[in-house]
């Protein structure tokens, strides 16, 4: 395993939660194997997920706020607020990005979604042909590590909630792959509040195995840009 720079974005309000345990375990395992780890604990940081003019130190249009326009202007003129710039620097620093979170309402917790809305800024992180195969983070890896409330059978193709991979597609493809990351299969702890200590220990062992084999793990395969026609439809 080659040394890596790993950036974990952690989104859970409880320090004693299993999500927090997974993040602590990841940091310990990765550092013990010679990697560098940075963690953004969004709740501990009191990160503000609301996007508005406070994202910026400069204004393109003071009369009408459109975030993409302001993003581009800030990208060209070093106009992002310090909290956003700091998180962007971590993204560009890392080789591997990990989102650690509980699945709430079939998606990211609001604080993590707000982090994406603010940090994945147009002009700096995407735009102008910088997307998917040509994304800014081409060559870097990303992975979701998450917990669910329901048990595994509920997250299958015939399960009540539907296939977990379909649920995670908007995050894996619509956020991470969109900006160029090679997206690794997710690590999912099913029914986190319903398992006993022995099963939790088992999940920690499984997570450790995933972490130490990141550089050997094949990413999820998505169609390449060249597979689409001029209307962005898959070629027949």
pLDDT in tens, 2-39: 789 999 999 999 999 999 999 999 999 999 999 999 99
Closest CA to 76 of 38, 31, 121, 32: 121
Whole-number Å distance between alpha carbons of 165 and 85: 31
- Report pLDDT for 220: 96
Q: Is residue 235 part of a domain?
A: no
**Residues 95, 60 contacting (CB under 8 angstroms):** no
Structural domains counted in the chain:
1
- Only one residue has tokens 């088992």, namely 202
Looking at residue 194, what is its pLDDT? Answer: 87
Residue with tokens 């102008």: 128
Note the pLDDT of residue 2.
Answer: 73
List the one residue out of 173, 169, 211, 45 whose CA is nearest residue 118: 45
Domain assignment present for 53 = yes
Once rounded to an integer, what is the mean pLDDT over residues 93-117?
97
Q: Please give the positions annotated as active site.
A: 149, 155, 161
> Do the domain assignments include residue 234?
no
Are the CB atoms for 26 and 37 separated by under 8 Å?
yes
CB 181 within 8 A of CB 173: no
Q: In the structure, what pLDDT confidence band is assigned to residue 68 with cuts at 50, 70 and 90?
A: very high
Over the stretch 219-232, which tens digit does the pLDDT of each residue have? 999 999 999 999 99
As a whole number of angstroms, the distance between CA 112 and CA 103 comes to 11
DSSP string covering 35-91: -EEEEEETTTTT-----SGGGBSS-S-SSS--HHHHHHHHHHHT-B-HHHHHHHHHH
Question: How do residues 152-211 score in pLDDT, each as one tens digit?
Answer: 999 999 999 999 999 999 999 999 999 999 999 999 999 888 888 888 899 999 999 999
Please name the residues in contact with 113: beta carbons below 8 A apart, sequence gap of 6 or more. Answer: 49, 107
pLDDT attached to residue 236: 86
Residue 96 has pLDDT above 80, yes or no: yes
Give the model's confidence band at 1: pLDDT under 50 very low, under 70 low, under 90 confident, else very high: low
DSSP 3-state of 155: helix
Confirm whether 168 is domain-assigned.
Answer: yes
Chain Cα centroid distance, residue 183: 9
Could you list the residue range(s) of the whole structural domain that residue 49 is in? 5-227
Q: Is residue 232 part of a domain?
A: no
CA distance 11 to 44: 9
Alpha helices, H only, 151-234: 164-171, 197-212
Q: Is residue 233 part of a domain?
A: no
Residue 41 resides in a domain: yes
Sign for the pseudo-dihedral over CA of 202, 203, 208, 209: positive
Is 236 within the bounds of a domain? no
- Residues 212-222 have pLDDT tens digits of 999 999 999 99
CB 106, CB 150: distance < 8 Å:
no
Measured between alpha carbons, how far is residue 209 from residues 1, 12, 205 in Å? Answer: 12, 23, 6
CATH assignment of the domain containing 182: 3.40.50.360
Over residues 117-145, the pLDDT tens digits come to: 999 999 999 999 999 999 999 999 999 99
């Amino acid at each position: 395993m080659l040394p890596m720079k790993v950036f974990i974005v952690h989104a859970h309000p409880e320090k004693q939660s299993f999500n927090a345990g997974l993040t602590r375990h990841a940091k310990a395992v990765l550092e013990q194997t010679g990697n560098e780890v940075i963690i953004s604990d969004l709740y501990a940081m009191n990160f503000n997920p609301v996007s508005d003019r406070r994202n910026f130190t400069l204004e393109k249009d003071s009369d009408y706020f459109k975030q993409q326009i302001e993003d581009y202007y800030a990208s060209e003129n070093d106009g992002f607020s310090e909290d956003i710039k700091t998180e962007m620097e971590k993204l560009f620093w890392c080789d591997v990005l990990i989102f650690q979170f509980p699945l709430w309402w079939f998606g990211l917790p609001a604080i993590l979604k707000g982090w994406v809305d603010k940090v994945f800024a147009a002009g700096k992180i995407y735009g102008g042909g910088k997307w998917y195969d040509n994304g800014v983070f081409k060559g870097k890896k990303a992975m979701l590590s998450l917990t669910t409330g329901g048990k595994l059978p509920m997250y299958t193709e015939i399960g009540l909630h539907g296939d977990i991979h379909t649920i995670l597609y908007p995050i894996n493809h619509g956020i991470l792959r969109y900006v160029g990351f090679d997206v690794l299969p997710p690590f999912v702890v099913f029914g986190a509040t319903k398992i006993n200590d022995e099963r939790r220990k088992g999940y920690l062992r499984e997570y450790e195995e995933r972490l130490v084999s990141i550089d050997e793990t094949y990413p999820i395969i998505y169609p390449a840009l060249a597979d689409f026609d001029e209307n962005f439809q898959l070629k027949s």
